[in-house]
Amino acid sequence: MRTSHRFKLLLLLFLAGIAAPLTGLAAGDVVWSAMIYASNGSAPLPPPPEIAAYSLKLQHIFGYNQFQILNQHRELMESRSENWLIPGNGFYLHVGAQKTRGNYLLNLQLYQDQRLAVKTIALLARQSPIFLRGPLSAEGQLIIVVAVE
C-alpha cells in the first residue's frame, strides 16, 4: 500500500512537471492593445490612466511628451489563439495572439487607409509590454502598445 501511494505521488509530480511549462500564462489572461497618437505639446496633458505607468518609458523611447489613445481593446484569452481588430482614425490594427510556452506570439498588421503599412511578429511576455513605432502623422506619430494585464 505504501509503495502504491508513493507511485501515485511520483506520477502526480511527473505530470505536474510536464504541464508546468504550458501554464505560464493562465487561462483568462487579458491582452491590452492600443493605438496611441504621440506628439509634443508646449503644455502637455497628463497621460491617460491606461498608459500612465508607461508614459516615462514612452517619452524616453519615442521623444514625445503627450499621448492620446486613439482606440484600445482588451481581449480575454480564453482559447489558445484569439484575433481582434482595432479601428482608429484611418488606421486599423489587426492583432492575432497565440499562446506559446509562457508567452504570446503576436501577429500584428497595421493598415493605413486599407493598405498594409506594417506587418510584424513579436513575442509578448508578462511585465514586458511591446511598443512599436508606427507611421508619422500630422505633428506626431502613431505608436502601438500591447501588454498582458
- Tell whether the model's pLDDT for residue 86 goes beyond 80: yes
Contact 99, 25 (CB under 8 A): yes
Q: What is the pTM of this model?
A: 0.78
For residue 140, what are the CA distances in angstroms to 32, 96, 113?
23, 27, 18
Beta bridge partners of 144: 35, 132
Buried-exposed string 38-63: b where 16+ CB fall within 10 A, e elsewhere: beeeeeeeebeebbeebbeebbeebe
Query: What's at 51, amino acid-wise?
Result: I
Other Cβ atoms closer than 10 A to 5 = 9
- Summary mean pLDDT of the chain: 85
39 confidence band (pLDDT: 50, 70, 90): very high
Contact 36, 145 (CB under 8 A): yes
The position carrying cell 500584428 is: 108
